[in-house]
Chains A and B, each alone.
Chain A
Amino acid sequence: MSEITYKVPTMAEMAANNETPEVLFWVGCAGSFDDRYKKVTVAFVKILNKAGVKFAVLGTEESCTGDPARRAGNEFTFQMLAMSNIQVLDMYGVKKIVTACPHCFNTLKNEYPELGGNYEVVHHSEYLQQLINEGRVRIEGGETFKGRKITFHDSCYLGRANGIYEAPRHVLEALDADLVEMKRCKTKGLCCGAGGGQMFKEPEPGKKDINVERIEEAIETGATTIAVACPFCMVMMTDGVKNKEKEDSVKVFDLAELIAQAEGL
């Protein structure tokens, strides 16, 4: 197998060379700092490299989109972050953005236009589906998923918030795996418990943690792989698996990781 040289060009480098990328990969805070989700970032970058996509990242010029601040009620902090991000994006003349985080996706796509930031924004599930459809990503050379039971956990900010239910499922179907649905899926999907700022605080008093309720449902399907498409869901589902002491038999992966595994990257 030929060695691939992975490149991660920044917008600054591209601009210096007078180049324009096809798409900006918005990494997000979890993708940049969270040890588990950094693996997703790397997997996605490998896929983009292999597919020959001319992409760039903002590197240290990226800031939080402001989503957690806005959902928690702090509009000032949200708008400060949003405004400076828009300045950076516009400075580089960014047209199209892909991100692996549904929260970043929702904010960039739906909330930046009102503040003057207009971009074509796609989630990596849609982008991966497109690359597969175009034949730029071919599922070969790596692990086989044939007959493996996978269940997909819908992220609220991808599903209900933006109506994207099919793209991540199409990506999983490309793996030729055995896709099984949880009782509550798609429009009825149950939240992992992390949205709306919950990721950054202890849950309010109750009988049970939301991610435990959700993981029980995921385990009930008999799936050995829980596919997610959101950094917060990743944390919550992984913690849920630990809570149920199923780390050995049930694994949580992001869509990009599964595709990268199937490509042998």
Chain B
Amino acid sequence: MAIIQQIIFLAVLGTVGWLVFKRASLIRNTILLGRDEDRTDQPGLRFATMVRIAFGQKKMFDRPLIGVMHFVVYAGFLLINIEVLEIVLDGILGHHRLFAPFLGSFYTFLIGFFEFLAVGVLVTCSIFLIRRAVVKVERFQPSRHKEMNGWPELDGKIILLFEIVLMIAILTMNAADTVLQEIGSTHYTPTGDFAFSQFLKPLFTGWNETSLIVYERFAWWFHILGIFAFAVYVTYSKHLHIALAFPNTYFSRLTPKGEMNNMPDITKEVKIMLGLDTPDTTAAENVIPERFGAKDAPDLSWKNLMDAYSCTECGRCTSACPANLTGKKLSPRKIMMDTRDRLEDIGRNMQTNGGKFVEDGKNLMGDYISNEEILACTTCNACVQECPILINPLDIILQLRRYKIMDEAQAPGSWNAMFQNLDTNQAPWKFSPGDRFNWADHLKNEA
């Protein structure tokens, strides 16, 4: 019997590992479709940023209560994984509570501590679920934010339910286990009562040994299979931030938020136009790039694409966006979700075409994100400031604008007038450059 369980366990573990690996490779490959951008300078500062923002979750504590609750789930997730390690080893080796004999009473304390975390996760996830479904926190509501319609809203709730159910499984499993220990069931290593599950023992009064074993085994399998399913699910879900938050903060921008990336191709051309440089005749067909700005997801930098996969759709960006707050179509969260949706479509396309992307006639700009959205942005950086894991929606918006304006030459009329004024008068308004210093006339007369 035990050997069959071990074989099933190994088969499941292998399958899950393979599925996760396949998904992770696809995600990695689609991120690498992005334009090159060097984000490897200042490794010390980058590492410190990652430790502070991802590991220490500094920005989550901008809202202290939510910060603490999120931290409980995060710490629970990280630390309970130690117990999952034991469970996996038990599964492979056909043991039960492999670590218990080595650790003695410390083991009981450790599991008790994990139970404490599990209860914390259970309570917090329930509160989070209530916030989504009952209190209806504005930024999660599809009625107010159309990008939350359908799957994203469901996804958010599924994850929370998942975690709640897993915690119930582990707590009741421990309770059944300790009851089995008390009746001296052979396979169950004595550990003594655990901190929380001891209070669940009355649930099992009157159960005979066989039903207890069946329940304990059921809960054990349910819990570990749940975790395996979760590992695969996460790669398809907004919940991917649990892994990507770390590289995403490490590779985040270190320059001032106000700085826009330069376009060296244009610098070269402008220098030639101003006679500061000569055209490079030796190189065949350089200078003119294929495209100005970003039309589709692969025109963005790989970091923009990693941002998209890292987004957990919390909507802090959107709830701080002045355009969104005043009813405009723009939602920075939607910009990130659209970019990810586009990448997922590209990934599926690559999978069905043997790893190569086959033109599907679609583009991020136009088919996913509309001009009206990107035109509404005031570049105020509120979205960038808000993101707890340093995602930059503004960078994407500005690259899409560059495409719209320079490649398609589709600017609103008043912007074209502004450009024309800048080109001819060196001011955005229709004033003569010769009048630029007139403001001082009155002052000089005063003197």
Q: Which residues of A are in contact with B by a Cβ distance under 8 Å?
A: 5-8, 10, 27, 29, 31-34, 38, 41-42, 45-46, 57, 59-60, 62-64, 66, 68-77, 79-81, 83-84, 87, 106, 109-111, 114-115, 156-157, 160-163, 187-188, 190-191, 193-210, 213-214
A196 — which chain B residues lie within 8 A by C-beta? 377-380
A34 — which chain B residues lie within 8 A by C-beta? 429
Per a CB cutoff under 8 Å, which of A72, A110, A198 touches B259?
A110
Beyond A60-B433, A73-B402, whether A45 also contacts B443 by CB under 8 A is yes
A8 near B443: Cβ-Cβ < 8 Å: yes
B149 — which chain A residues lie within 8 A by C-beta? none
A72 near B415: Cβ-Cβ < 8 Å: yes
Beyond A156-B378, A197-B415, whether A81 also contacts B426 by CB under 8 A is yes
Beyond A75-B406, A83-B276, A204-B330, whether A69 also contacts B436 by CB under 8 A is no
Per a CB cutoff under 8 Å, which of B262, B377, B438 touches A111?
B262
A81 — which chain B residues lie within 8 A by C-beta? 422, 426
B35-43, B50-58, B319-327 - interface stretch: B319-327
Per a CB cutoff under 8 Å, which of B259, B428, B434 touches A68?
B428
A74 near B406: Cβ-Cβ < 8 Å: yes
Q: Which residues of B are in contact with A by a Cβ distance under 8 Å?
A: 255-260, 262-263, 266-267, 269-271, 273-274, 276, 292-293, 320, 322-323, 325-330, 372, 375-382, 384-385, 398, 401-406, 411-412, 414-415, 417-419, 422-423, 426-429, 431, 433-440, 442-444, 446-447
A204 — which chain B residues lie within 8 A by C-beta? 323, 328-330, 372, 375-376
A213 — which chain B residues lie within 8 A by C-beta? 322, 325-326
B322 near A190: Cβ-Cβ < 8 Å: yes
Per a CB cutoff under 8 Å, which of B292, B434, B440 touches A45?
B440
- B interface majority secondary structure: helix
Per a CB cutoff under 8 Å, which of B256, B269, B382, B437 touches A191?
B382
B422 near A57: Cβ-Cβ < 8 Å: no
A69 — which chain B residues lie within 8 A by C-beta? 418-419, 422, 428
Per a CB cutoff under 8 Å, which of B293, B323, B404 touches A210?
B323
**In the complex, which residue of chain A has the Cβ closest to the Cβ of B437?**
A59
B382 — which chain A residues lie within 8 A by C-beta? 156, 160, 188, 190-191
B325 — which chain A residues lie within 8 A by C-beta? 190, 210, 213
A191 — which chain B residues lie within 8 A by C-beta? 322, 378, 380, 382
B426 near A64: Cβ-Cβ < 8 Å: yes
Per a CB cutoff under 8 Å, which of B262, B405, B412, B427 touches A33?
B427
**Bound state CA distance, A200 and B422, in angstroms?**
12
B274 — which chain A residues lie within 8 A by C-beta? 80, 83-84, 87
Q: Write the nearest CB–CB distance from A21 to chain B, whole angstroms.
A: 15
**In the complex, which residue of chain B has the Cβ closest to the Cβ of A232?**
B378
A42 — which chain B residues lie within 8 A by C-beta? 439-440, 442-443
A31 — which chain B residues lie within 8 A by C-beta? 439
A76 near B266: Cβ-Cβ < 8 Å: yes
A197 near B418: Cβ-Cβ < 8 Å: yes
**Bound state CA distance, A162 and B177, in angstroms?**
58
B428 — which chain A residues lie within 8 A by C-beta? 29, 64, 68-69, 199-200
**Bound state CA distance, A73 and B266, in angstroms?**
13
Q: Write the nearest CB–CB distance from A77 to chain B, whole angstroms.
A: 5
Per a CB cutoff under 8 Å, which of B320, B330, B401 touches A188?
B320
B327 near A206: Cβ-Cβ < 8 Å: yes
**Bound state CA distance, A171 and B412, in angstroms?**
39
